[in-house]
Amino acid sequence: MTNTNQPLPHAPDMTEQDNAETLCEQVRQAYRERSPLRIVGGDTRAFYGRAVEGRALSTLEHRGIVHYDPVELVVSVRAGTRLSDLEAALAHHNQMLPFEPPRFGEASTIGGAVATGLSGPRRPWAGAVRDFVLGTRVITQEGKLLRFGGEVMKNVAGYDFSRLMAGAQGTLGVLSEISFKVLPRPNATHSLRLTMPIDEALKKLAELGRKPLPITAAAWHDGGLHLRLEGGQSSVKATHERLGGDSLDASFWQELRDHSLSFFQGTGDKALWRLSLPPNSGTLALPGVQENEVLYDWGGSQRWVKTSVDAETLRRLCQEAGGHATCYTAHQNGGAIEPFTPLNPVVAKYHRNLKRELDTYAIFNPGRLYAEF
Amino acid sequence: MNIHFDERLDGELTVIDKAEVLADLQNASPDLILLHREEDLHPFECDGLAAYRVLPMLVAMPETFEQVQTLLKRCHHLGVPVVTRGAGTGLSGGALPLEKGVLLVMSRFSKILGVDPDARLARVQPGVRNLAISEAAAPYGLYYAPDPSSQIACSIGGNVAENAGGVHCLKYGLTVHNVMRLDILTIEGEPMTLGSEALDAPGFDLLALMNGSEGMLGVVTEITVKLLPKPETAKVLMASFDDVEKAGRAVGDIIAAGIIPGGLEMMDNLAIRAAEDFIRAGYPVDAEAILLCELDGVEEDVNDDCATVRRVLEAAGATDIQQARDDAERAKFWAGRKNAFPAVGRMSPDYYCMDGTIPRRELPRVLKGIAALSEESGLRVANVFHAGDGNMHPLILFDANQEGELELAEDVGGKILELCVAAGGSITGEHGVGREKINQMCSQFKPDELTVFHALKAAFDPKRLLNPGKNIPTLARCAEFGAMHVHNNELPHPELPRF
């Protein structure tokens, strides 16, 4: 068991820069010219979603922490700030972004993390990106910098535009600044591996899930259930003793989060898919998929699959199980044409309406999510 | 400035004969219960914000999905506004009817459709009471976390509409954090599923947008909520302070110690006395402030945290610290807090409850401001505070039978909210804007920001038929409101017509 309650000795050195006005002007120009923009931070997530044709609008010069008050549990940060810099600044005060945003490269920015809305292994227990977004500053199609939400924990004034921006992949506006709720890092952590087949692991997870245990990550791969315990010293120790198993290096979770585990290396001619399924879903019979081509994360709710099964079949199977499937391999590298599960006609209609209201001339990342928006 | 619906400021409503609407709806949906006689409408003329009352044109009480769908389609066709109502406990007038509108009462949708203990989900209809979900989940050792003080009466549909909170938000989140999936009907009567039983869904996060949208984007017909395992244990500490500011600082000290309490509440002397007089919770009536700090989780951790919090409170200058000896005493400590509103209600013929939020560090300054407003107006103000997440509930005591006192209370309330906005906070943390805070929205948001809100509304309901006039003020209303707050002789929004 490791004690994580040790602040780093120095805050990271971060040059900050407010480039909002330049970004607004670039958007105003694009709006006047009706010319599309490809919003880009560290450009580490371009594989996620459809390819966007457009002039690059870089957030990288718009960076730095605007305001951080550890006692308020709130940090406000410019979109172009590197994830690694932000997380180091939080760690200096023994705090963290609870949703564990993946980094697909050192250049990953917080703006990209929020725009793509991806969360790491702690997600089922702590919440997703959007759950920790308290407020945003957004550049609208007219190039106006507007503020939604704020730096307080509770705020129900007006519509929750800020959470809508999380995961919208920059198709509704440019994220300029984001305020997050942050949390203290847990006092203690211990990771372990229990050897057991997947069916037994899923049963065990359902059973453990009904108990108030300090579990904050659960993944199954290669014959082993991997668990992370986080919380107070006493409860982590007690749960560790109760569950037993072999000790697991905590770096496993970071490698899982960032897709740097060997499972994710070289999928050959197969595409990498992410299946999102209801909690307590059983194993899916995917044609031609071997057990070692599936990695279960989020206690079984998020599954990574390497397969050449066609998108339609995969999506039908997921839909029947109450979930959906996303292709993580870009189309030009052999992935599906549509990375995201197509929307039903009514839902698509209201997506279209929203896009039309907020991005009338389709200047923001057009076609990134779906061909029509 | 008056908050009554004013068509000149809030937008015109369709002029239509009540008998015609009644006949149309009866014809389209013969089994739908429709109330139309004045004496039957009276029970629905207000929600929990009882100072404002409007008789709706008609009240519809559907029992089936098809009845709701037909009603919406017909109202959309006729251009008749629809105000959706749950249990009617909302405190911001979000379900305040419109004279020219139909009030859609969802209280008959009161079935718990299923509890799945292994997936830790419950599927419920919108009229199910908040507490009933936890009761249904209790046999499995599970519960539904958000617990607004009105949880014995308020319905989950209303909780979604207002993104309701409660005393455990800091640790367990608001409604938006605990709802997995919503089945809704659009104003055109189209069914739409937002979110999923899985942890995400493709496309925009319309689920997040729908939470807290005050019935203005759709009508919720079914809700899937997340259930949590009941914490193994919960312990509560009560600390007394001889100074409100010291109590405020202690809150920050607890968080700074790396502890996220399950609940962290503060009450000032007037609220303490009111609660003690009503509930006999064992509160120290001479204290200037008390903090209630609940720590929950696994037994050993909770014991460690209790010791830490006790040290922090002592260092912060608490004059007395008590730990509830057992669950009965813990329940008693909380009963005082949960009944603080009715307790204050016993001290005064009427009270007006505010809901501003602030960064916690601003607490001393805002409390001073409130005290000054109280003194200036002559109205007493009791302070109840979700201290952990910066959500204040100042209760302004007044007597509506005294000429001008309601207006005075509203004026003080408005100024308190403006204090919160100036401190970097919000006019509402959990009660919603509704009709009550419609004017203060003009203080919190700039016209361009309100325009984005109107665009979101237009994407779902371009004819503005769902709960018109709530939540987002028109620019015309803000211009009128702004005209009463002229700074440096500059009239805001000179381009807009004024009335």
| Residue A341 belongs to some domain of the structure | no
Q: Say if the Cβ atoms of B196 and A150 lie within 8 Å.
A: no
Q: Which band of pLDDT confidence, cut at 50, 70 and 90, is reported for residue A13?
A: low
Q: Give domain status of residue A7, yes or no.
A: no
Taking residues A263-282, report their average pLDDT: 93
- The 8 Å CB, 24+ separation contacts for A119-123 are A120/A253, A120/A256, A120/A257, A121/A216, A121/A217, A121/A218, A121/A219, A121/A228, A121/A253, A121/A256, A121/A257, A121/A297, A121/A298, A122/A98, A122/A216, A122/A217, A123/A99, A123/A298, A123/A302, A123/B199
Asked whether the beta carbons of residue B297 and residue A231 sit closer than 8 angstroms, the reply is yes
Chain A residues close to B446, C-beta within 8 Å: 146-147
Query: Would residue A122 count as lying in a domain?
Result: yes
CATH architecture of B7-105: 2-Layer Sandwich (3.30)
d(CA A230, CA A215): 6
What pLDDT score does A2 carry? 47
Closest CA to B478 of B443, B452, B449: B443
Is the pLDDT at B488 greater than 60? The verdict is no
| Interface confidence (ipTM) of the complex | 0.95
Structural domain including A92 reads 19-184
| Residue type, position B404, single letter | G
CATH number at residue A80: 3.30.465.10
pLDDT recorded at residue A373:
84
A164 and B213: CB-CB below 8 Å? no
Q: Nearest chain A residue to B165 by CA: give it.
A: A154
Q: Are the beta carbons of B304 and A73 separated by less than 8 Å?
A: no
CB-nearest to B433 from A151, A153, A157 is A157
Q: List the single residue in B140, B165, B177 with the smallest CB-CB distance to A131.
A: B177
The Cα of A83 is separated from the nearest Cα of chain B by a number of Å equal to 22
* Interface membership of A371 toward B (CB under 8 Å): no
Inform me whether the C-beta atom of residue B143 falls under 8 Å from chain A C-beta atoms. no
Domain assignment present for residue A1? The answer is no
CATH number at residue A318: 3.30.70
Contact call for B206 and A117, based on CB within 8 A: no
Q: Is B373 helix (H, G, I), strand (E, B) or coil?
A: helix
Question: What chain A residue is nearest to B470 in terms of C-alpha separation?
Answer: A158
Give B208's contacts in chain A (Cβ within 8 Å).
130, 160, 163-164, 166
Residue A10 scores a pLDDT above 70: no
Percentage above 70 pLDDT, chain B: 97
Q: Given this chain, do its domains B233-342 and B348-422 carry the same CATH topology?
A: yes
Structure pTM?
0.95
Residue A3's pLDDT is what?
47
Of B187, B211, B4, the residue nearest B93 (C-alpha): B4
Count of domains forming chain A: 3
Q: What is the mean pLDDT of chain A?
A: 95
- Chain A CB contacts of B456 under 8 Å are 159, 161, 164, 354, 357-358
**Parallel, antiparallel or unpaired: strands B82-85 and B233-241:** unpaired
A323 and B CB contact within 8 Å: yes
Task: Please check the confidence at residue B6 and state whether its pLDDT lies above 60.
Answer: yes
Mark whether A273 and A244 lie in a shared domain.
Answer: no
- Interface size between A and B, measured as CB pairs under 8 A: 278
The answer, yes or no, to whether residue B149 has pLDDT greater than 90, is no
Please answer yes or no on whether A157 and B360 come within 8 Å at the CB atom.
no
Quickly state the pLDDT bin for A298 (edges 50, 70, 90): very high
> What value does the mean pLDDT take over residues A255-284?
94
A71 → closest Cβ in B176, B212, B252 = B252
Contact (Cβ atoms closer than 8 angstroms) between residue B78 and residue B33: no
Looking at A225, A257, A289, the residue that finishes a domain is A257
Question: Residue A364 corresponds to which tokens in the numbers above?
Answer: 């923001």
| Cβ atoms within 10 Å of B237's Cβ, excluding its own | 22
Separation CA A112–CA A86 (nearest Å): 13
Q: Which of B26, B6, B29 is nearest to B18 (CA)?
A: B26
- Please indicate, yes or no, whether residues A100 and A58 belong to a single structural domain of this protein: yes
Residue A147's CB is within 10 A of a number of other CB atoms, namely: 19
pLDDT-wise least confident of A9-13, A196-200, A366-370, B301-305: A9-13
Helix (H, G, I), strand (E, B) or coil at B460: helix
Specify whether A196 is located in the same domain as A180.
no
Q: Could you give phi then psi for residue A275, rounded to 5 degrees?
A: -105, 130
Enter the DSSP assignment of A223: T
Q: What digits encode the pLDDT tens for the residues B325-384?
A: 999 999 999 999 988 988 998 999 999 999 999 999 898 889 999 999 999 999 999 999
CB contact under 8 A, A168 and B204: yes
Same domain, A209 and A96: no
Q: Which residues of A fall within a CB distance of 8 Å from B300? A: 232, 234-235, 238
Locus of tokens 């249990």: B87
Pair (A136, A56) in one structural domain: yes
My answer on whether A165 and A280 are in the same domain is: no
- The topology (CATH level 3) of B348-422 is Alpha-Beta Plaits (3.30.70)
Q: Chain B within 8 Å of A338 (Cβ-Cβ)?
A: no
Q: Is the pLDDT of residue B498 over 50?
A: no
- Residue B163 and residue B430 in contact, taking contact as beta carbons nearer than 8 Å: yes
Tens digits of per-residue pLDDT, B333-349?
999 998 898 899 899 99
CA distances from A277 to A296, A324, B197 (A): 11, 7, 7
Last residue of a domain, one of A232, A257, A282: A257
Domain assignments of chain B as residue spans, ordered by start: 7-105, 112-229, 233-342, 348-422
Q: How confident is the model at residue A4 (pLDDT cuts 50, 70, 90)?
A: very low
Residues A107 and A245 in one domain: no
Average pLDDT over residues A329-355: 96
Q: Give the percent of chain A with pLDDT over 90.
A: 94
Q: If pLDDT is split at 50, 70 and 90, which confidence band does A304 have? A: very high
Region of poorest pLDDT, from A351-355, B320-324, B325-329, B339-343 = B339-343
Which of B160, B193, B199, B207 to probe the A interface (max A CBs under 10 A)? B199
What's the rounded Cα separation, in Å, for the pair B249 and B480? 40
Which of A3, A144, A159 is most worth mutating to test chain B (most B CB atoms within 10 A of its CB)?
Answer: A159
| CATH class of this structure's domain B233-342 | alpha beta
pLDDT digits (tens, 9 = 90+) for B394-453: 999 999 999 999 999 999 999 999 999 999 999 999 999 999 999 999 999 999 999 999
Task: Give yes or no for a contact between A168 and A116, defined as CB atoms under 8 angstroms apart.
Answer: no
Within this chain, do residues A111 and A180 fall inside the same structural domain, yes or no? yes
**Whether the predicted pLDDT of A208 surpasses 60:** yes
On whether the CB atoms of residues A212 and A282 are closer than 8 A, the answer is no
Residues A42 and A116 placed together within one structural domain of the fold: yes
Residues 133-192 of A with CB under 8 A from B: 140, 144, 146-148, 150-161, 163-164, 166-168, 172, 183-185, 187
Q: What percent of chain A has pLDDT over 70?
A: 96
Partners of residue A302 on adjacent β-strands: A276, A297
**B452 contacts on A by Cβ (under 8 Å):** 140, 146, 148, 161, 358
Tell me the pLDDT tens digit for each residue of B173-192.
Answer: 999 999 999 999 999 999 99
Q: Which amino acid is at B294?
A: E
Question: Which residues does chain B have within 8 Å of residue A232's beta carbon, measured at their own beta carbons?
Answer: 297-298, 300-301, 304-305
DSSP string for residues in A113-181: HHHHT---TTHHHH--HHHHEEEEEEE-TTS-EEEEE-SSS---SS--HHHHHTTSTTSS-EEEEEEEE
The answer, for B255 touching chain A at a CB cutoff of 8 Å, is yes
Q: What is the pLDDT of residue A11?
A: 52
Residues 339-368 of A with CB under 8 A from B: 340-344, 346-351, 353-354, 356-358
The sign of the CA dihedral A263, A264, A270, A274 is positive
Separation in Å, CA of B453 to nearest CA in chain A: 6
Q: Which of A164, A298, A356 sits opposite B209 (nearest CB)?
A: A164
Residue A230 gets which letter from DSSP?
Answer: E
Residues A173 and A26 in one domain: yes
pLDDT tens-digit map of A217-235: 999 999 999 999 999 999 9
Do both A148 and A46 map to the same domain?
yes
pLDDT at B495: 54
Residue A326 has pLDDT above 90, yes or no: yes
Contacts of B457 in chain A (CB under 8 A): 159
Annotation: CATH topology of B112-229: 3.30.465
B256 contacts in chain A (CB < 8 Å): 70-71
**Does A153 contact B357 at a Cβ distance shorter than 8 Å?**
yes
Is position A28 within any domain? Answer: yes
Q: What are phi and psi of A230, to 5 degrees?
A: -145, 140
Are residues A209 and A75 both part of a single domain? no
- Contact across the interface for B357 and A278, Cβ inside 8 Å: no
Digit-coded pLDDT (tens) for B269-317: 999 999 999 999 999 999 999 999 999 998 889 999 999 999 999 999 9
